[in-house]
């Protein structure tokens, strides 16, 4: 039963309100049975409203809080707690800032492959960094 953890670039409620929920975006071939979004906000949207991101997989959202200098390590600890409980096969982070950092950190700690997608809009290209621990 393959599982994916995603650290989305924005709270999922933002994608929903902007109409940017993409069908099977995180599970294009339905290879994952479970997709877990670790959301960097205090509360997020009902999973059913953005289920299509995960295709046919069971979809879960785990809000861990919005990181700032005073709680950065506490948010990291909560993210690792969820990641450890999920036992993912792959972790994906969107962005070079907190989302990418937390994805790479959890991958390293759990010894699970992690992918960080960096969207370089100003250079009109995408760059993908893959790290294996």
Tell whether the model's pLDDT for residue 33 goes beyond 90. Answer: yes
Q: Give CA separation, 101 vs 70, 95, 115, in Å.
A: 17, 8, 10
pLDDT digits 0-9 by tens, 50-99: 999 999 999 999 999 999 999 999 999 999 999 999 999 999 999 878 99
CATH code for position 120: 3.40.50.2000
Q: Count CB neighbours of 60 within 10 A.
A: 16
Query: What is the domain range of residue 33?
Result: 3-131
Query: How many domains, in total, are found in the chain?
Result: 1
Tell whether the model's pLDDT for residue 123 goes beyond 70. Answer: no
Kindly report the average pLDDT of the chain as a whole number: 90
Indicate the pTM of the whole model: 0.88
pLDDT score at 120: 60
Q: Give the list of residues 6+ apart from residue 107 with CB closer than 8 angstroms, or none.
A: 91, 113, 114, 131, 133
């Amino acid at each position: 039963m393959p599982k994916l953890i995603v650290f989305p670039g924005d709270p999922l409620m933002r994608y929903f309100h902007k109409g940017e929920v993409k069908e099977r975006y995180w599970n294009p071939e339905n290879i994952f049975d479970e997709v877990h979004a670790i959301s960097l906000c205090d509360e997020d949207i009902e999973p059913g409203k953005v289920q299509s991101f995960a295709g046919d997989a069971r979809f879960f959202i785990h809000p861990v809080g919005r990181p700032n200098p005073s709680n950065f390590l506490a948010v990291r600890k909560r993210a690792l707690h969820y990641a450890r409980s999920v036992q993912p096969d792959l972790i994906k982070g969107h962005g070079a800032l907190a989302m990418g950092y937390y994805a790479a950190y959890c991958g390293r700690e759990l010894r699970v492959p992690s992918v960080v997608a960096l969207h370089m809009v100003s250079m009109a290209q995408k760059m993908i960094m893959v790290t294996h621990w």
